[in-house]
Amino acid sequence: MEAYINILPRLLPGAVITVQVLLASAALAFVVAFVAGLGRVSKYSIVRKITAVYVELFRGTSLLVQLFWIYFALPAFGIQFSPFLAGVVALGLNYGAYASEVVRGAILAVPSGQTEASIALNMSNWQRMRLIILPQAFRIMLPGFGNISIELLKGTSLVSLITLTDLTYKGLIIQNTNLSYTMPVFVMLLVVYFIIALPLIILAKKLEKNASRGVAKA
């Protein structure tokens, strides 16, 4: 028991880094999701194609390889990121690609009658999206965003492989320096990750309940 209590304060700085990576990459993923999600439903086929290539590329390849690319390979092209920034960019682009599918699906889930009514009221394309479609689609998206943010938290552990001292990295250091701590370290890692995830899980459940309010039925 003592071992468990000893470990906790030594894990905390790593937990802080993990939460920072989580928040920063979630913010990036959110922006990317909307840009790419709107791109996927654009009326210009060239925009649809470019965003489709991006989404499939980032969904279809390994996040770990993307991370290595951004951290180890891009410097060869003169682009150098700090470990933190490389982690945030890789996670943001990867999970943003997944989340853009949530955005796209939600936009398409708003019944076509809403689009037709806004055309009949002579709204512009952008007004229709901003005033009518997105406010309804947003409610449909939220549970999906909640789930992806939980996935994203779990994905942050990979940044330990590009020398960022996050929660996982801290745990591995403790375990390496004192092998008798192996069991307590890995138990405490699970516990701390779960504690960070808990608010996200509760939020996602709540959003799921409210998702259908204020959305037109097909």
- Which residues are at the interface with another protein (CB under 8 A)? 113-114, 116-117, 119-125, 127, 131-132, 135-136, 139, 214-216
Pick between residue 114 and residue 178 the one whose CB is nearest to another protein: 114
CB 103 to another protein: min, Å: 17
Nearest CA to 35 out of 23, 46, 47 is that of: 47
Alpha-carbon gap, residue 31 to 37, rounded angstroms? 10
Which amino acid, residue 143? P
CB 122 to another protein: min, Å: 5
Sole residue written with tokens 């008798």: 180
Nearest CA to 99 out of 138, 49, 64 is that of: 138
31 contact partners, CB below 8 Å, separation of at least 6: 96
Pick between residue 53 and residue 216 the one whose CB is nearest to another protein: 216
Task: List C-alpha distances in Å: 98 to 29, 116, 193.
Answer: 9, 29, 22
Pick between residue 7 and residue 107 the one whose CB is nearest to another protein: 107
CB 125 to another protein: min, Å: 7
CB 46 to another protein: min, Å: 17
Task: List C-alpha distances in Å: 205 to 133, 145, 199.
Answer: 23, 11, 10
CB 134 to another protein: min, Å: 10
Pick between residue 13 and residue 113 the one whose CB is nearest to another protein: 113
Pick between residue 131 and residue 195 the one whose CB is nearest to another protein: 131
